[in-house]
């Protein structure tokens, strides 16, 4: 085996530094990528919770709207019945007291 010359030794050291640099850079990139992915997951979880809350609120509003529609229908029916009753009373009053 021949002893390494200075140029060869420098080339081996440069190669070793390059490999170490690439490995360390890859590890840093992987850590940063994992951190970025976690941030994205956290934001998506928050948005998912907001969507669930919005969906629940819309369902609640629809239930209230249905309830109000039923109440309004009942009130309108009562109003019609009272108007008919009032018309009958007016007619009786006109017959009893005349057209005044």
Taking the model in full, what pTM does it have?
Answer: 0.50
The Cα 54–Cα 62 span in angstroms is 12
Please give the distance of CA 53 from its chain centroid, rounded to a whole number.
7
The Cα 27–Cα 24 span in angstroms is 5
**What is the reported pLDDT for 88?**
94
Q: Which residues contact 12 (CB under 8 A, 6 or more apart)?
A: 4
**What is the reported pLDDT for 1?**
55
Q: pLDDT by residue for the chain (100 residues), tens digit each?
A: 567 677 777 888 888 888 888 777 777 767 777 777 888 888 888 899 999 999 999 999 999 999 999 999 999 999 999 999 999 999 999 888 876 5
**What is the reported pLDDT for 90?**
92
CB-based contact 19:27 (threshold 8 Å): no
């Amino acid at each position: 085996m021949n002893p390494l010359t200075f140029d060869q030794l420098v080339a081996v050291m440069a190669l070793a530094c390059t490999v170490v640099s690439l490995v360390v850079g890859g590890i840093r990139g992987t850590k940063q990528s994992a951190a970025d992915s976690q941030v994205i997951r956290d934001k998506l979880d928050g948005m998912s919770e907001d969507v669930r809350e919005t969906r629940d609120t819309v369902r609640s509003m629809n239930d209230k709207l249905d309830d109000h529609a039923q109440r309004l229908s009942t009130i309108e029916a009562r109003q019609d019945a009272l108007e008919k009753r009032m018309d009958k009373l007016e007619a009786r009053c006109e017959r009893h007291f005349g057209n005044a």
